Amino acid sequence: MSASEQTNWQSVHDEVLRRIHTREWKPGDQIPKEVELAEQLGCARATVNRALRELAAEGFLDRRRKAGTRVATHPVRRAKLDIPVIRLEIEGRGQKYGYGLLLTERRTPTPEICANLGVSAKSDMLHISSLHLADGKPYMFEERWVSIDTVPEIVDADLSKISANEWLVLHAPYTKGDISFSAVLASELEAKILRTHAGAPLFLMERTTWENDAGITSARLLFAPGYRMHSAI
Amino acid sequence: MSASEQTNWQSVHDEVLRRIHTREWKPGDQIPKEVELAEQLGCARATVNRALRELAAEGFLDRRRKAGTRVATHPVRRAKLDIPVIRLEIEGRGQKYGYGLLLTERRTPTPEICANLGVSAKSDMLHISSLHLADGKPYMFEERWVSIDTVPEIVDADLSKISANEWLVLHAPYTKGDISFSAVLASELEAKILRTHAGAPLFLMERTTWENDAGITSARLLFAPGYRMHSAI
């Protein structure tokens, strides 16, 4: 896309947003048709379409095939969270990345892991625990199960040199994933690994990914006390 | 956009993703130019452009003006979080929404709030505490500061009937916002309000919004134990 095209849909976007903000167009109002707007603003219909799609994605507009486009009555704002490889997240903070493999074993998965991944417990999985460090301090404790059926190559990976997190990103791209965030208390073991005290508040990220319908991995990422996930809205 | 156009860029998207997943195009590889891809796939260049933009937004491609488009070496996956009005979040779970205003007062903002909003402490702000309930049980405790300079109409709002969260969404749309997530322990007061025990792990969402450069509001949203924020990646 050229710079001028970019400016163009962006300026339509801003003009529509101005009308919403000044309440020239009120919540629930139907807005003019794309062709009318294109004529008013002196641009191509495709440019208006691009701007309106963006505004709908941002939650300012409701677009319905038959009912037309309306100003959202209760805009749902959408935050975009970047989920990088942990090494890059730490390096991006200007800190030195460290990594230690704590455990790797083939084992029958727990019923909870089978349920997460939607698989039966017939096959062993790879169970991996590791610690990620920032400037030598515990940053995140990763406990992960990887399906050997879906990703057989993982058994040959040297997970003492590369984290399962990074290996999977490079070798087992997923087509579908679930992520959830919550607050939990550190157990005795988790506290010991993260060098804090039992009962400390920990930010927990749980991720499960699939390649089509085949479960790849289910991971529990526990961040050391003080961790804050941040985004623009 | 018509249904056939939708299918079209979506199928280009899926074909490019297939080539990345099968490693026909490997991490770091430069991919063919848009015109070449359009010719290969028998579609308009604009369709290829739309698909590649989507794949870049999803983190599969790196697009650089001069270096061309490459397969991302370390794909940063992006999770989209929907941030609805709390009432709609609760009703969307099929639960009955309840709301109680705990406190509203004009007060000099704390230095922390001034720093968050980028304002000086010269003017009073509205300080509001309220509790949101799901099926009669505490769901989220909201503590919020609203700039009367930026949103003077808030002093006339009946915040015992409509939550500041919902009033602001309807009357003070923002152009810029910050959001962060962390895990904290419940204080004695917070535990009492959320009907839990001091030291329980709570999910904390902090939000600050601006209309252009004027600070609107800074809020601390504390969710009752057990809260999980969920998204697809």
Q: Is residue B39 in some structural domain?
A: yes
Question: Which among B117, B176, B178, B170 has a CA at the least distance from the CA of B148?
Answer: B117
**Greater confidence, B171 or B39?**
B39
Kindly report the backbone phi and psi dihedral angles of residue A51, in degrees, each rounded to the nearest multiple of 5, phi listed first: -65, -40
* Residue A21, pLDDT above cutoff 80: no
DSSP one-letter code for B154: G
- Boundary (domain end) residue, out of B38, B71, B104: B71
C-alpha to C-alpha distance for B74 and A130, rounded to whole angstroms: 20
A27 vs B: CB within 8 A = yes
Q: Residues of B numbered 178-197 whose beta carbons fall under 8 angstroms of chain A's beta carbons: which are they?
A: 178-185
**A96 and A180 both lie in a single domain:** yes
List B201's β-bridge partners, or say none: B185
CATH number where B53 lies: 1.10.10.10
**B90 and B175 both lie in a single domain:** yes
Q: Is residue B7 in some structural domain?
A: yes
Partners of residue A88 in chain B, C-beta under 8 Å: 74, 76
Question: Which among A11, A12, A17, A10 has a CA at the least distance from the CA of A71?
Answer: A17
**B196 and B117 both lie in a single domain:** yes
Q: Is residue B149 in some structural domain?
A: yes
Q: Is residue A91 in some structural domain?
A: yes
What's residue B1's pLDDT?
A: 41
pLDDT tier, A75 (very low <50, low <70, confident <90, very high otherwise): low
C-alpha to C-alpha distance for A183 and B228, rounded to whole angstroms: 8
Contact (CB, 8 A) for B221 and B203: no
**B102 and B136 both lie in a single domain:** yes
What's residue A6's pLDDT?
A: 47
Q: CB A64: neighbour CB atoms within 10 A?
A: 8
Contact (CB, 8 A) for B184 and B205: no
Average pLDDT, chain B: 88
**B138 and B191 both lie in a single domain:** yes
C-alpha to C-alpha distance for A180 and A114, rounded to whole angstroms: 17
Partners of residue A184 in chain B, C-beta under 8 Å: 183, 201
**B62 and B90 both lie in a single domain:** no
| Torsion, CA B192, CA B195, CA B201, CA B207, rounded to 10 | -80
Q: How many domains does chain B have?
A: 2
Q: Is residue B79 in some structural domain?
A: no
Q: Per the structure block, which two tokens stand in for B178?
A: 């910050």
Q: Is residue A78 in some structural domain?
A: no
- Hey, are the CB atoms on A201 and B179 less than 8 Å from each other? no
Q: Is residue B77 in some structural domain?
A: no
- Hey, are the CB atoms on A83 and B76 less than 8 Å from each other? yes
**B101 and B207 both lie in a single domain:** yes
Partners of residue B20 in chain A, C-beta under 8 Å: 173
Q: Per the structure block, which two tokens stand in for A120?
A: 């039966």
Provide mean pLDDT across the span B184-197. 97
C-alpha to C-alpha distance for A77 and A60, rounded to whole angstroms: 8
CATH number where B153 lies: 3.40.1410.10
Residues in CB range of A165: below 8 A, 6 or more apart: A85, A86, A87, A132, A142, A144, A219
**A34 and A90 both lie in a single domain:** no
Residues in CB range of A207: below 8 A, 6 or more apart: A177, A178, A179, A217, A218, A219, A221, B233
Largest CA distance in chain A: 66
Give the tens place of pLDDT for each residue, A146-193.
999 999 999 999 999 999 998 888 788 788 889 999 999 999 999 999
Percentage above 70 pLDDT, chain A: 96
**A63 and A122 both lie in a single domain:** no
**A95 and A184 both lie in a single domain:** yes
**A135 and A203 both lie in a single domain:** yes
Of A69, A85, A141, A179, which to mutate for an interface test with B (greatest number of B Cβ within 10 Å)? A179
B61 vs A: CB within 8 A = no
DSSP one-letter code for A30: B
Contact (CB, 8 A) for A171 and A191: no
The one-letter amino acid code at B80 reads: K
**A108 and A49 both lie in a single domain:** no
Angle at alpha carbon of residue B214, lines to B213 and B216, rounded to 5°: 130
pLDDT tier, B3 (very low <50, low <70, confident <90, very high otherwise): very low
- Boundary (domain end) residue, out of B42, B71, B100: B71
Residues in CB range of A44: below 8 A, 6 or more apart: A38
What's residue B154's pLDDT?
A: 93
C-alpha to C-alpha distance for A194 and A188, rounded to whole angstroms: 10
Residue among B76, B77, B230 minimizing CB distance to A180 = B230
pLDDT tier, B4 (very low <50, low <70, confident <90, very high otherwise): very low
Q: Per the structure block, which two tokens stand in for B18?
A: 């297939």
Contact (CB, 8 A) for A206 and A230: no
ipTM score for this prediction? 0.76
Of A1, A29, A87, which to mutate for an interface test with B (greatest number of B Cβ within 10 Å)? A1
A37 vs B: CB within 8 A = no
Task: Give residue A117's domain range.
Answer: 86-223
- Boundary (domain end) residue, out of B46, B71, B96: B71
Residue among B81, B85, B201 minimizing CB distance to A201 = B201
For helices A45-57 and A3-21, angle between their N-to-C axes, nearest 10 degrees: 60
Q: Is residue A137 in some structural domain?
A: yes
